[in-house]
């Protein structure tokens, strides 16, 4: 069976494709959001991450899951965006929103709202 590849977004002569770099930015935002998401789930009693390192407790499991989510997101985005020209404004905005939500979700006053 033959596979059909879509051509990458047009890159003007003299421009450098920014897709791989922006994949790392958005992947970081997804990882930060994942960390906040796992913290909220843990505090709500819906998910308990395993303790991977006893002195750190459950935070070792939550951070490990967040790193796995970040790695998967980065890998998938990189494979789809490498060699392409991607709109950096939208990616930066999404990254900032995801990082902001991830940070807010790790604060104890937010847990009290659950």
Write the pLDDT tens digit of every residue in 88-114: 999 999 999 999 999 999 998 887 787
Q: Please list, in sequence order, all residues whose beta carbon lies within 8 angstroms of the beta carbon of residue 3, skipping any fewer than 6 positions away.
A: none
Cα 45 from Cα 54, distance rounded (Å): 20
Burial of 59 (0-12, 13-18, 19+ CB in 10 A): middle
The four Cα atoms 87, 89, 90, 93 give a dihedral, to 10 degrees, of: 150
Domain ranges for the chain, please list them.
19-53+66-112
The pLDDT confidence band at residue 7, using thresholds 50, 70 and 90, is: low
φ and ψ of 55, to 5 deg: -60, -25
| Other beta carbons less than 10 A from residue 84's beta carbon | 18
Q: Give residue 63's pLDDT.
A: 93
**Residue 70 predicted with pLDDT over 80:** yes
pTM: 0.83
């Amino acid at each position: 069976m033959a596979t059909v590849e879509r051509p990458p977004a047009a890159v003007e002569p003299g421009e450098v494709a920014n897709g791989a770099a922006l994949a790392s930015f958005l992947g970081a935002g997804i990882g930060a959001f994942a960390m906040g998401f796992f913290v909220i789930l843990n505090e709500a009693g819906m998910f308990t991450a395993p303790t991977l390192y006893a002195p750190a407790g459950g935070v070792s499991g939550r951070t490990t899951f967040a790193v796995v989510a970040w790695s998967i997101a980065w890998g998938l985005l990189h494979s789809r965006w490498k060699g392409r020209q991607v709109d950096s404004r939208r990616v930066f905005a999404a990254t900032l929103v995801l990082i902001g939500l991830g940070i807010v979700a790790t604060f104890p006053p937010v847990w009290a709202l659950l």
